[in-house]
A = this chain, B = another copy of it.
Amino acid sequence: MTIAGENTENQILTAASQVFILKGFDGARMQAIADQAGINKALLHYYFRSKEKLFDAVFSEVAANLFPAMKQVIEAELEMKEKITFFVKMYVKTLLENPFIPAFVINTLNTNPNRFLTHIKKAGINPMLLQKQIDEEAVLGLIRPMKAEHLLVNIISMCIFPFVARPIIQNIFEMNNDEYQLYLESRQTEIVDFVLKSITV
């Protein structure tokens, strides 16, 4: 077996990622993916039986790259404030490298919920651990008591939202593309500040 097969498969996956992420499942065209990959449309069906299967492959890969890093930080051996600092900086950095992923996931989530649910395979994040740490540190007076499901969602919301609502925000605050890039980068420290100030007793 030559590696050409694997190679083509990867070409297809790369092309499919790009098109699906940009257009969503419904907006993506098999022909567009084939063109992007520089191959015949029939080859798509040779490697992946259907559009759905191809999408699943792409989505799995994308989703797989999204959660583990998160999980890793959350379960790290760090004081909560350090953990938050580290998490936000890493997460926003990841988003800066893949700015269209969040909108893609949200789009899939909401227009094809069934398609998503098959892929959810337990994000693997254990909020109990997080809550435990919050409780412990609260007792020590390091942070104020709080529910993990609010703290975590607050943080992630602030990280992700500027990526999915970019056109609106950019319009309201009249930023050009360069300015918005700087804005996104500045949010790393800004979010950390904002959160730490809030959870300090």
How many chain A residues sit at the interface, stated as a range, is: 35 or more
A residues 139-173 in Cβ contact with B at 8 Å: 144, 147, 149-150, 153-154, 156-158, 160-162, 164-169, 171-173
Q: Which residues of B contact A112 (CB under 8 A)?
A: 27
A residues 71-112 in Cβ contact with B at 8 Å: 100, 103-107, 109-112
Give min CB distance, A52 to chain B, whole Å: 14
Q: Is the CB of B197 within 8 A of A197?
A: yes
- Number of chain copies forming the complex: 2
A191 interface residue per 8 A CB criterion: yes
CA distance A161 to B169 in the complex (A): 15
Give min CB distance, A108 to chain B, whole Å: 10
Q: Is the CB of B109 within 8 A of A150?
A: no
A155's closest neighbor in chain B, by CB? B158
Give which listed residue, B104, B109, B168, contacts A164 with CB less than 8 A.
B109
Q: Is the CB of B160 within 8 A of A194?
A: no
Secondary structure class of chain A's binding surface, majority of residues:
helix
Q: Is the CB of A197 within 8 A of B198?
A: yes
CA distance A194 to B110 in the complex (A): 27
Give min CB distance, A38 to chain B, whole Å: 24
CA distance A117 to B171 in the complex (A): 10
Q: Is the CB of A164 within 8 A of B194?
A: no
Give which listed residue, B147, B164, B168, contacts A123 with CB less than 8 A.
B168
A48 interface residue per 8 A CB criterion: no
Q: Mark A100-135, 1 if CB is under 8 A from B, else 0.
A: 100111110111110011001011010100000000
